[in-house]
Amino acid sequence: MNNKDTSKRTMDIVQKGLAKRYKREKRFKLYGLSAIIFSLMCLSFLFISIFSNGYTAFQQTFIELEVFIDPALIDKGNFAGSNYQGIIKASLRNAFPDVTERRAKKRLYHLVSSGAAYQLQAVVRDNFEKIGQSVTLWVPADDDVDMLMKGHIDRNVPEADRRLKDDQVAWIESLSEQGRIEKQFNTTFFTAGDSREPELAGIWGAACGSFYTLLVTLALSFPIGVAAAVYLEEFAPTNRWTDLIEVNINNLAAVPSIVFGLLGLAVFLNFAGLPRSAPLVGGFVLTLMTLPTIIIAGRASLKSVPPSIREAALGVGASKTQMVTHHVLPLAMPGMLTGTIIGMAQALGETAPLLMIGMVAFIVDIPGGFTDPSTVLPVQIFLWADSPERAFLERTSAAIMVLLLFLISMNAVAVILRKKFERRW
């Protein structure tokens, strides 16, 4: 401050700078606002691109076939090994009797999915009396046909550059004139396991894997996390050791998740000899990952319970355990649950640690237990994104939508729990 300024009144100085300060404030607000607008734009771009790519996957093209279950092609001793593919091919030939050339016939067979044979197999297995009769089946169309029906294959590019040739397009058109090809709701997507044929691939296998994995994670991390938080907050003496533990827990929360995967590989697979690709091991690894989150959230919610409640409980003669279990823990529980749910949501979206323990795998059978080989939802997304078939592109987006739905609903539950049970003092 120099001498000239002291001659002025403070008010003058303040007023002189006022316009500038208002401007600065306005600018500051603007920065914040534009940051929010930017992130909203990114988010909406993400949602719009995923949705516009993925919504078509909820429908699948089906073709109506008149199938004659030829008794000559069914081997009664070996139902699974019978030539169902041959029966489907025969019914396609019946539908288009003028196709005779060998290569053309092959192209004709390509119109329906290889899943049609499995569908027929199921029909025959459940209704033996149908052998020798004709049945009408809606069978899934091949993924290329599906892509054409959904407009992902351009009919106007030269024939050589298209995966569907002119005669195939003509057959599809004649089918659609007869109303024998249509898009239906894609139930397979929600009920099947993984498949290399996009039209047969579903997320149910991965969803079951995620369920078992998260169940193990929850069953282990919640009790351990709560117990650790209660001990550290209510019982542990404040000394160098507890400080050290606290610092370590905070550090663990920031450890990259792949490290937990490596740990899991070394401890659970190589040392303990647990099976690869099992939800049990996945759950163990994700427990290690979510524990710090749960402990930190748990301690924070224990801290927010006012000391007067503890003192009152102790004052009327409660033991420390009674004080914790009867008074402090119930009051802190909503916060702890919120932390747990957020930890679970984090675990649901994790792939990196599961890579190390073999859960990034092609698994068709739906896992039925904790040691069956399985995969999880984000891994399924990763695997589909890497597949060459174009129809997997929309399925990838659709799977992302399902995963996001799970995440959003889990977070919504956390918010509702907090709003409903939160108490302010």
Which residues make up the interface to another protein (CB under 8 A)? 80-81, 106, 114, 118, 153-154, 157, 160-163, 195-197, 220, 223-224, 226-228, 231, 268-269, 272-277, 280, 284, 358, 360-365, 371, 373, 383, 385-390, 393
Amino acid at 52: S
- Closest alpha carbon to 255 in 291, 298, 279, 300: 291
DSSP at 73: G
H or E element that contains 137: strand 134-140
| Closer CB to another protein, 163 or 310, in the complex | 163
User: Dihedral (C-alpha) 331, 337, 343, 344: value to the nearest 10 degrees?
Assistant: 170
Beta bridge partners of 60: 184
| Closer CB to another protein, 235 or 241, in the complex | 235
Pairwise CA distance, residues 376 & 354, whole Å: 9
The two three-digit tokens of residue 79, written as one number:
């139902």
Write down the least CB distance from residue 419 to another protein, Å.
27
| Closer CB to another protein, 93 or 276, in the complex | 276
Q: Is 322 helix (H, G, I), strand (E, B) or coil?
A: helix
H or E element that contains 316: none
User: Residues 26, 367: contact at Cβ < 8 Å?
Assistant: no
| Closer CB to another protein, 182 or 389, in the complex | 389
| Closer CB to another protein, 153 or 245, in the complex | 153
Write down the least CB distance from residue 3 to another protein, Å.
59
Report CA-CA distances (Å) from 140 to 66, 146, 151, 171, 410. 14, 9, 17, 16, 34
| Closer CB to another protein, 309 or 385, in the complex | 385
Write down the least CB distance from residue 11 to another protein, Å.
59
| Closer CB to another protein, 153 or 404, in the complex | 153
Write down the least CB distance from residue 324 to another protein, Å.
10
Write down the least CB distance from residue 72 to another protein, Å.
19
The two three-digit tokens of residue 121, written as one number:
């197999």
User: Residues 13, 5: contact at Cβ < 8 Å?
Assistant: yes
Tokens 């698994």 locate to 363
Q: What's the farthest any 2 CA atoms get from each other in the chain?
A: 113
Phi-psi region of 9 (alpha: psi -120 to 50; beta: other; left: phi over 0): beta
User: Residues 120, 67: contact at Cβ < 8 Å?
Assistant: yes
| Closer CB to another protein, 152 or 180, in the complex | 152
